[in-house]
Structure 1
Amino acid sequence: MTAQVGRALSYVTFKPDIGTGKHEAPYLNEEGYVDFSPDDLENPRNWSLKRRWAITCIAVVLAMNGNFASSIFSGSIDSVMEEFGVSEVAASLTTTMFLLGFCAGPFVFAPLSEFYGRRWIFYITFLAYMAFSFLCAFPTNFGRFLAGVFISAPLSTTPGVLVDLWDPIERGNATGIFSLASWVGPSLGPVVSGFVQLKKNWRWGMYSVLWLGALTVLLMFLIPETHAPTILAKKAERARKSGIAGYEKAIMEGEEDKPSLAHVYKLALTRPWILMFDLISLLCSIYTCIVFTLQFMLFSIYPIVFRDMRGWNAGVSQLPLLGQVVGAVLGAIVIFVDSERRRSKDAAGKTLLPEDRLLMAMFGGVAFPITMFWLAWSANYNAVPWIVPTLAGTFLSAALMLVYVAIINYLTDTYAQYAASVIAANTVARSAGSAAAPLFTTQMFTSLGVGGGGSLIGGVATLLALIPFVFFWYGARIRRKSKYALVEPDQMEKMDEEADPTDYGVQAEETQHAGDMDEPAQSKRSEDV
């Protein structure tokens, strides 16, 4: 009866039924440490395909809550201004404060996830995010900031969950879906809030965030622990308490010399800033900062074009943002095609260098200024049909996504063992740019006009488009001069195999946020017991 109950609960919680294991000697590796056996059902990568996909989808939905909430006020700024009698800049702080929370959160929670596992970080931070989101239905920027801090934990922990569940070959589809959801979420926020503002007010946008969060909470508690070191630590503890002769001092590898939490935080708070100013990291951070700044600028540009200039209402004027969603899907298709190209190249025994990741950035980098000029000057004249700037925005979204995904992958391959730290630095740069965007976009486009403002961005994008080309041709030479970048292909392959998603406590927030996009090979795994 007990076994049947355990089996039933395993399906409800997406955690395989492994029994008590009290009297079974744990598997030891060649060094004598507690480890996963080849077919160990406690190893998340040995769970059934449907179980891993279920957990992946729930984790992605958790992260998408933060992406959706980040832009929810963008469609209801007028309602905030009217109710509180404040300027547009002051009202835009609701978005800015939330995004600034993204800068702080990963540094706080990533080290904790290394010590206490993923599951409890999800539970505590998402519930705290819900509590502070409730406060955001009232006039409090401080609550909005803290909501951003706490939701950044699921955003940064979800890529780690994907690393836990999927090996590098299989991870492509999962990380592709995560990247797509991360791009789509912010585009949907203004559409929802724009329409609810017509019938209600800005608070109903926050209510939609709470409703989405409430539904997600029910799913969140189904996520089991996936962090391998945490699972192995508990497994070693069970072995020590089991009374089995010879296992009284059983430990997992690294447990005896595990650094203190204070030491982890010291590295987490200092290393990213050192790596940010390494040449490759610096230029890539500038590029992704501009990409994400523009993404959030579009939430102010579209209302100018379709509401102020064409006279559409607050809801309908946000609908062209759905073109951004379509563009993200197109970008994802290109990413998967490129992943298949890389997989075939790897299967043929050819060397894959970090610079091979930049082909998408080169393509997207050229398309970025072209589509930006297209959007700017087609939107500048009301005589041009609305579909023309909407299509421009669609292809612009695809270009931005390609640039972002390629650069994150390039940084991951280039810095390998320091990938989490360099991605954390990149996260700060792009989150800061996103946070600043709502504060100046309207004034900029009012002064310069849609054509002029868009041309300024297009000009900057033209200059930045040189970056992936420079790294593609001279990246190997630049890496040799770096103190932190890896140089030899076999060195990079070894680091990829040994890498832990929490690099000294700084989660690779998006080390896999667009992650290793290699197309997953079909593999057969036994169904969970």
Structure 2
Amino acid sequence: MDTPSAASGDNPRLWSSRKKLRHFVIVCFFSGWTSIATTGYLPMQAVVTAEFSVSPTTFLVGNLLFFSVGVAFTPLLVSPLSEILGRRRIYLVSTLGFALLCIPPAAVPAPTFWPTLLARLLQGCFASVGNSTTAGTVSDLYGAGSRGLPMSILCLAIYVGQGVGPPLSSAILAAGISWRWIYALWALVVFGLFLVLALFFCETRPAVSSRDAEPDSELGNKEGAATREKVRFGQAVRISLSRSAWWLVSEPIVSCFALWVGFLWGCIFLIIESVPTVFEAYGWSEVQKSSVLLAISVGGVFGWLINLHQDKIYSKAAKRAAPDEPGPEARLYWACVAAVVAPMGFFIYAWTGRASITPVAPIVGLTMFSTATFILYVASWSYLADAYSIYAASALAAQSWLRNFLAGIFTLVAPRMYEDLSPPIASTMLACIALGLAVCPFVFFFYGPRIRARSKVASSVATAHGS
């Protein structure tokens, strides 16, 4: 059996299919469970606010801290560090930290809600690795020609987890079990994942793998701590920590994808918070209303199946471009379709969620929006991974920052927004914005090569790969 150390210094893309599959399954589970813990927080609102006598807004600050501070900001530091220190070290620290931080809310009764909020913030910091760095691992394991399917499966794990989280927590609460046991479940599962990582996960970052294989490359030992480019380690850390933040404003490709996908992602979490309000018209129980969110998971599966066809399109483009790699624009065929379907689904969700219309209608609209958003989500990951190659983790971390920041904000404003504007008007307003943003994939599809040519980073990567 392969040992967790990367002493062989081999290229992860040359590993056996079985070894790559093992590592891929581990990071998919990490990402999926992180999503379950993310959305599984919301159903606890009624019991937690009653126990601590706090307002719903104060409770939702927990998700604001989790997303907008923890999950959003931490990847700007951690993902570039994973490119220097390695993925494995980052994964071990993040899973252990997340598991330990679930213990206080689960086992230590507090007189106020603030310790739980603090724990939620720190949980977001550690959980962020499962939302960003895992994509870098996929890029480590698979080349552009074979990356589409693994990347889509990773995205599916994240997406399905978001739809599973609320029904799972609601079912636990409906069974009369304390909300603290939800945290206990999270802790047990993530600690088990930590053990799996420690025993079965090898380093996948090639530069780190090679450096660790050399006797004189240990940290703190003269030149051994330098990167392959012979840059001092401390200087490399400072450069890497600022890379994602700078790319968010200096790289138009990263900026555009971050804004576009970030808005749609925020809408998914706004919908998660709005579903109880919309489906109140049908007189459903909390468990029934939470079950509606499984439409997000179903939409993710539909989107994944559609992405299989997108992958075939990319494969044909790869054959035509051989021996070079095809341009990232080959990832966007179905994204152009999904960009139009997303606002259509949102409009259906907006105007059919009422007692006089069957509940199947808004669920269909939600499924359409979810399917389209998944396709766009995968397309953005794949496009950025292709355009930035070995620096994919930094580009994806920048995109993740805005995406998760908006998720936290949208979750916080959703109740007031749907109460003040009414569900149809609130959803219609967001659908109109989504319709306006539908132009994004078409711009990149037709003008992507020109845009990438004006990017110093993307153009240098393209030159290195001969495309």
The TM-score, its normalising length taken from structure 2, stands at 0.87
Specify the alignment match of 1:340 in structure 2.
Answer: 312
The size of the alignment, in residue pairs, is 452
Q: CA deviation at 1:357?
A: 2.7
Q: CA deviation at 1:422?
A: 3.5
Specify the alignment match of 1:217 in structure 2.
Answer: 194
Specify the alignment match of 2:347 in structure 1.
Answer: 373
For 2:145, which of 159, 169, 173 is the aligned residue?
169
| 1:292 is aligned to 2:265 | yes
**Aligned partners of 2:281, 2:268: CA distance in 1, in Å?**
21
Q: CA deviation at 1:483?
A: 4.4
Are the equivalent residues in 2 in contact too, given 1:14–1:55 (CA < 8 A)? no
**Aligned partners of 1:164, 1:283: CA distance in 2, in Å?**
24
CA separation of 1:281 and 1:56: change in aligned 2, threshold 3 A: closer
Q: Greater helix share, 1 or 2?
A: 2
State which drifts further: 53-62 or 456-465: 53-62
Are the equivalent residues in 1 in contact too, given 2:4–2:203 (CA < 8 A)? no
Specify the alignment match of 1:30 in structure 2.
Answer: none
Specify the alignment match of 2:214 in structure 1.
Answer: 236
Q: CA deviation at 1:475?
A: 3.6
Are the equivalent residues in 1 in contact too, given 2:76–2:394 (CA < 8 A)? no
Q: Supply the AA of the counterpart residue of 1:113.
A: S
Q: CA deviation at 1:415?
A: 5.0
CA separation of 1:239 and 1:202: change in aligned 2, threshold 3 A: closer
For 2:295, which of 316, 323, 331 is the aligned residue?
323
**Aligned partners of 1:111, 1:418: CA distance in 2, in Å?**
8
**Aligned partners of 2:341, 2:261: CA distance in 1, in Å?**
15
| 1:72 is aligned to 2:40 | yes
Are the equivalent residues in 1 in contact too, given 2:98–2:126 (CA < 8 A)? yes
State which drifts further: 53-62 or 253-262: 253-262
For 1:151, which of 127, 141, 157 is the aligned residue?
127
Are the equivalent residues in 1 in contact too, given 2:273–2:414 (CA < 8 A)? yes
| 1:360 is aligned to 2:334 | yes
| Partner deviation per Cα, 1:111-168 (whole Å, 9 max, x = no partner) | 4433432222222221111111222335321111111111223433322322333333
Specify the alignment match of 1:5 in structure 2.
Answer: none
Q: CA deviation at 1:383?
A: 2.4
**Aligned partners of 2:448, 2:149: CA distance in 1, in Å?**
28
CA separation of 1:493 and 1:485: change in aligned 2, threshold 3 A: closer
State which drifts further: 287-296 or 226-235: 226-235
Specify the alignment match of 1:106 in structure 2.
Answer: 75
CA separation of 1:389 and 1:164: change in aligned 2, threshold 3 A: same
| Partner deviation per Cα, 1:474-507 (whole Å, 9 max, x = no partner) | 3444445x343645xxx65444589xxxxxxxxx
CA separation of 1:110 and 1:289: change in aligned 2, threshold 3 A: closer
**Aligned partners of 2:244, 2:389: CA distance in 1, in Å?**
14
Specify the alignment match of 2:13 in structure 1.
Answer: 45
For 1:460, which of 412, 433, 437 is the aligned residue?
433
Specify the alignment match of 1:82 in structure 2.
Answer: 50
SS at match of 2:143: coil
Specify the alignment match of 1:206 in structure 2.
Answer: 183
Are the equivalent residues in 2 in contact too, given 1:62–1:154 (CA < 8 A)? yes
CA separation of 1:195 and 1:434: change in aligned 2, threshold 3 A: same
SS at match of 1:348: helix
**Aligned partners of 2:466, 2:178: CA distance in 1, in Å?**
51
Are the equivalent residues in 2 in contact too, given 1:193–1:204 (CA < 8 A)? no
SS at match of 1:312: coil
CA RMSD, Structure 1 to Structure 2 (Å): 3.0
Are the equivalent residues in 2 in contact too, given 1:62–1:220 (CA < 8 A)? no
**Aligned partners of 2:87, 2:380: CA distance in 1, in Å?**
26
**Aligned partners of 1:431, 1:193: CA distance in 2, in Å?**
21
State which drifts further: 458-467 or 418-427: 418-427
**Aligned partners of 2:364, 2:329: CA distance in 1, in Å?**
31
Specify the alignment match of 2:359 in structure 1.
Answer: 386
Are the equivalent residues in 2 in contact too, given 1:103–1:432 (CA < 8 A)? yes
Q: CA deviation at 1:369?
A: 0.8
1:121-520 equivalent positions in 2, closer than 5 A:
121-137=90-106, 139=113, 140-198=116-174, 199-221=176-198, 222-237=200-215, 255=228, 257-269=230-242, 272-306=245-279, 308-349=280-321, 352-379=326-353, 381-414=354-387, 419-480=392-453, 482-484=454-456, 486=458, 493-496=462-465
Q: CA deviation at 1:464?
A: 0.7
Are the equivalent residues in 1 in contact too, given 2:84–2:237 (CA < 8 A)? no
Q: Supply the AA of the counterpart residue of 2:334.
A: M
CA separation of 1:421 and 1:276: change in aligned 2, threshold 3 A: farther
Q: CA deviation at 1:320?
A: 1.3
Q: Supply the AA of the counterpart residue of 2:433.
A: V
Are the equivalent residues in 1 in contact too, given 2:6–2:203 (CA < 8 A)? no
**Aligned partners of 1:43, 1:352: CA distance in 2, in Å?**
22
**Aligned partners of 2:211, 2:444: CA distance in 1, in Å?**
42
Specify the alignment match of 2:88 in structure 1.
Answer: 119
State which drifts further: 338-347 or 413-422: 413-422
**Aligned partners of 1:200, 1:250: CA distance in 2, in Å?**
56
Are the equivalent residues in 2 in contact too, given 1:355–1:472 (CA < 8 A)? yes
The TM-score, its normalising length taken from structure 1, stands at 0.78
SS at match of 1:77: helix
**Aligned partners of 1:349, 1:150: CA distance in 2, in Å?**
40
Are the equivalent residues in 2 in contact too, given 1:162–1:175 (CA < 8 A)? yes
Q: Supply the AA of the counterpart residue of 1:360.
A: W
Q: Supply the AA of the counterpart residue of 1:295.
A: I
Q: Supply the AA of the counterpart residue of 1:217.
A: F
Are the equivalent residues in 1 in contact too, given 2:264–2:373 (CA < 8 A)? yes
CA separation of 1:476 and 1:409: change in aligned 2, threshold 3 A: same
State which drifts further: 50-59 or 252-261: 252-261
**Aligned partners of 1:270, 1:116: CA distance in 2, in Å?**
15
CA separation of 1:404 and 1:214: change in aligned 2, threshold 3 A: same
Are the equivalent residues in 1 in contact too, given 2:99–2:188 (CA < 8 A)? no
Are the equivalent residues in 1 in contact too, given 2:149–2:311 (CA < 8 A)? no
CA separation of 1:425 and 1:109: change in aligned 2, threshold 3 A: closer
Q: CA deviation at 1:275?
A: 4.2
CA separation of 1:14 and 1:478: change in aligned 2, threshold 3 A: closer
Are the equivalent residues in 2 in contact too, given 1:195–1:314 (CA < 8 A)? no
Q: Supply the AA of the counterpart residue of 2:364.
A: L
